[in-house]
Amino acid sequence: MQKNPIQNKIIAALVDDGFLTPEKAKIVERVKAKLSSETTIINVLKDLNYITDSQLKKILRSDQLSLRIGDLLVEFGHLTPEKLKAALDIQSREGNKQLGQIIIDHHFMSEHDFLEVLSVQLGFPYVNLSVEELDSKILDQAPMKWCQSNNFLPVRQEEDRVIIAFADPFNQTSINSAKKLYGDKIEIAISSPGSIDRLLQHLVSGQKSEKLIDENTAMGIVDAIISAAILAGASDIHIEPLKDRLQVKFRIDGILVFHRELPPESTAMVTARIKVLAKADITEKRKHQDGRLSFEHKGNVYDLRASFYAAVFGEKVVLRILNRIDQIIPLEDIGMSPKMLTRYRRDVLGVPSGVLIITGPTGSGKTTTLYSSIKHIKQPEISIITAEDPVEFVMEGITQCSINPNINLTYKETLRHVVRQDPDVIVIGEIRDNYSAEVAVHAALTGHKVLTSFHTEDSISGLIRLMNMNIEAFLISSTVVCVLSQRLLRKVCTHCTRPHKPSAGELKLLNFIPQDIFQYNFCKGTGCQKCNYTGYKGRVAVFEMLVLNEKVREAILEHKSTFDIRKISLETTSLVTLMEDALSKAADGITTLDEIFRCVPRLIPPRSIQTIKQLSGI
């Protein structure tokens, strides 16, 4: 068997220490040769019961093995070889930054998982430096610059041992450097690489910070953060105060991505600056607040919604970036399959009255679809009026109202006046309660077209939730034209895409066999600089469109169950489920099965990909 050098090392060390006989080593080699390349040698050893956890910990921590931390994470199955290679590439470009910190910063692993692997599986104690009080007597024995250059931090003394936190507990150079200071009686502990680095910087400087954050500095920091978020295409900015730092993250393609960290003393001024811009109360720090602000970037004005949340270490700020210039997209570009798009234009947007409900969780692209639909039906002779909380896209030629409870401009008050404005089309940003649901169906009864959104898991759930809001079944049956459910999935990065053969576990989740998928182009991204080593770049929408027919309306009137309505819809309306539409896109290499399983509900097994594509007109 062609083993990689790390697997050779592990097997050789186990044989040398008597944990594994040469005969058993050959069996391990034969078994590994028959399994996929993703199966690690450690998994094989455990599955064959050839080694215990304690023996494994002992051999992995031995001087003779001396594994690098990245190789260790790969062998435990927590990191793919591709991601390790990407992390090493980043490390070579960024100089002496610790590999563990790169792995965490670039979201190859969460910090919790990273530390758990080292702590639980290898038996190293974990030191949480956010709450740990450092022993000043121990610190006084060590020159801090020496500790900093060797990436370790003395923590405390227990009996005759000194507990030392290492950024890389397998780095023999660091361990030997610590032994030069404290002798052989040290206990290796692990902690967040970033926390070690920040504390060492603080201790080396001898004070918290020589540069105080003033108002002008805070203005520059806030402007730089918002500008960077807009350039990165972020939908949200998270500014979170921790005990020893202020952490900034962006939500890009639905995933939080680390941006930068600031010293803890910047928290108050940065928060105050954002409060001033958002017209919030800068003196109130114990209660949650909301606000709105405008920001100009490269000649474009962006509207941001601000939320201030009183937390343990200060106020967390989340900024939602609204009405971005590029987000009102043509209907044909939102990602619907050909047949679905044709039906949506003809049987939903093309009818003179009725209710269209767009459903999905927060961040699933409902508002984008809603405005693409408005853009499609907008004509000079049609009066369109909206009630939204808040207005996310400003569109010329329609009347828009942004809800503001502070001046009693509530949904209830606004909707009461909307119907008096002689509209042809009413857009209700979101159905939140019985009153807004009743306004929607009654407006449709009087000949209006109503577009709205709802938070439900799929299209059938939208109908059931309306029934549970005490809306009469006959009203739902006679007014609802369509329920459109959707999700946003990350797209495979086109710069690092490669073919992917679905695993046995993935096929089992889909209720497929290998013959069902061999002719399709499933892909995965290996991770590159273009996609920030995630393997994904951009997002694609997947849809489930239920256009009600007589069979479905009859099922609603008879108060049938969700299962029965879904079955009738599949049999009589050419319904393609969310899972099926997503699977069709994955089969074309647009997204991945991992994304589907992460984001899309698995309510019923999907039909064959060939059947899905026929129903979708692909």
Distance CA 456, CA 285 (A): 34
Average model confidence (pLDDT) across the chain: 86
Q: Residue 123 domain-assigned?
A: no
Q: What is the pTM of this model?
A: 0.75
380 in the same domain as 477: yes
Instruction: Please identify which residue in the block is written with the tokens 């040469």.
Output: 22
- The enclosing domain of 176 has a CATH number of 3.30.300.160
**pLDDT, average across residues 30-48:** 76
Condensed to tens digits (0 to 9), the pLDDT of residues 553-607 reads 999 999 998 999 999 999 999 999 999 999 999 999 999 999 999 999 988 899 9
Classify the C-alpha dihedral 502-504-505-510 as positive or negative. positive
pLDDT value of position 510: 92
38 in the same domain as 147: no
The yes-or-no verdict on residue 64 having pLDDT over 60 is no
Q: Residue 110 domain-assigned?
A: no
**pLDDT, average across residues 160-174:** 88
Give me the percent of the chain exceeding a pLDDT of 70: 94
The yes-or-no verdict on residue 60 having pLDDT over 80 is no
User: Which of 292, 322, 352 is the last residue before a domain boundary?
Assistant: 322
Number of domains the chain contains:
4
Distance CA 91, CA 98 (A): 7
Instruction: Please identify which residue in the block is written with the tokens 């902690």.
Output: 191
Are 425 and 379 within 8 A, CB to CB? no
358 in the same domain as 283: no
208 versus 72: the higher-pLDDT residue is 72
Q: Residue 73 domain-assigned?
A: no
Cβ neighbours for 100, distance < 8 A, ≥ 6 positions apart: 69, 114, 167, 168, 193
pLDDT value of position 207: 44
220 in the same domain as 196: no
**How many Cα atoms occupy the beta-carbon half-sphere of 298 within 13 Å?**
8
534 in the same domain as 409: yes
574 in the same domain as 538: yes
CA dihedral 53, 56, 57, 60 (to 10 degrees): -160
Are 425 and 329 within 8 A, CB to CB? no
429 in the same domain as 360: yes
**pLDDT, average across residues 355-360:** 95
Residue at 307: amino acid letter: S
Are 109 and 99 within 8 A, CB to CB? no
Which pLDDT band holds residue 202 (cuts at 50, 70, 90)?
Answer: confident
Residue 27 pairs in a beta bridge with none
pLDDT value of position 1: 43
pLDDT value of position 211: 45
188 in the same domain as 306: no
pLDDT value of position 323: 62
- The enclosing domain of 296 has a CATH number of 3.30.450.90
SS3 labels along 222-269: HHHHHHHHHHHCCCEEEEEECCCCEEEEEEECCEEEEEEEECHHHHHH
Distance CA 48, CA 31 (A): 9
Are 490 and 538 within 8 A, CB to CB? yes
pLDDT value of position 237: 97
482 in the same domain as 338: yes
pLDDT value of position 28: 83
The yes-or-no verdict on residue 477 having pLDDT over 80 is yes
User: Which of 151, 177, 205 is the last residue before a domain boundary?
Assistant: 205
**pLDDT, average across residues 255-269:** 86
Are 549 and 573 within 8 A, CB to CB? yes
Closest by CA to 321, choosing from 233, 255, 256, is 233
Distance CA 546, CA 537 (A): 30
The yes-or-no verdict on residue 325 having pLDDT over 60 is no
> Which residue segment(s) compose the domain that 502 sits in?
331-616
What tokens were used for 114? 């990273």
Residue at 588: amino acid letter: D
**pLDDT, average across residues 262-291:** 90
What tokens were used for 497? 């895409």
User: Which of 299, 322, 345 is the last residue before a domain boundary?
Assistant: 322
12 versus 213: the higher-pLDDT residue is 12
Residue at 385: amino acid letter: I
Distance CA 532, CA 519 (A): 30
Q: Residue 533 domain-assigned?
A: yes
Distance CA 274, CA 270 (A): 6
